[in-house]
């Protein structure tokens, strides 16, 4: 399997949107998936970008993506990356693409002198949990993530 990990480009937005929708369906969250090409473009390439993206390409086809942004752990006083999404099409899993994404993210973190990469995994997604643990990630059993939706 030949693939390459690249920074997302403007032309990748439609394919990344399609992958985001696949990911939402996989996580049984399609009802919450409201992203548009315009909103993703603005988040990555707009005048005030708040998100970065990587894409895995097989020829010209996007077969996976990672979206991330900078964060800060106040108690530790450390800057880091927050991995919002990491998704690979099911038919391309098992070819070390996820590992390649994480190596690229680790390189980005090192270049910025960041000390951590944080992310969230749904508790029922055992394959993802196993994948991250195999690569050395630690699961924090003490934290629970909360979210304000339309109340703010």
Catalytic residues: 132
Please, how many CA atoms are within 13 Å of residue 121, restricted to the half-sphere of its CB?
Answer: 19
Write out 6-55 in H/E/C secondary structure.
EECCHHHHHHHHHHHHHHHHHCCCHHHCCCCHHHHHHHHHCCCCCCEEEE
């Amino acid at each position: 399997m030949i693939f390459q990990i690249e920074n997302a480009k403007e032309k990748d937005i439609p394919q990344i949107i399609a992958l985001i929708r696949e990911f939402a369906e996989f996580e049984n969250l399609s009802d919450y998936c409201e992203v548009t090409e315009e909103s993703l473009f603005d988040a990555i390439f707009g005048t005030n970008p708040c998100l970065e993206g990587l894409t895995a390409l097989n020829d010209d086809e996007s077969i996976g993506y990672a979206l991330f942004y900078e964060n800060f752990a106040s108690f530790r006083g450390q800057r880091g990356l927050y991995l919002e999404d990491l998704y690979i099409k099911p038919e391309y899993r098992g070819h070390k693409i996820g590992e390649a994404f994480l190596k690229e993210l680790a390189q980005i973190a090192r270049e910025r002198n960041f000390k951590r990469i944080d992310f969230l995994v749904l508790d029922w997604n055992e394959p993802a949990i196993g994948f991250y643990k195999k690569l050395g990630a630690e699961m924090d059993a003490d934290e629970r993530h909360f979210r304000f939706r339309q109340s703010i």
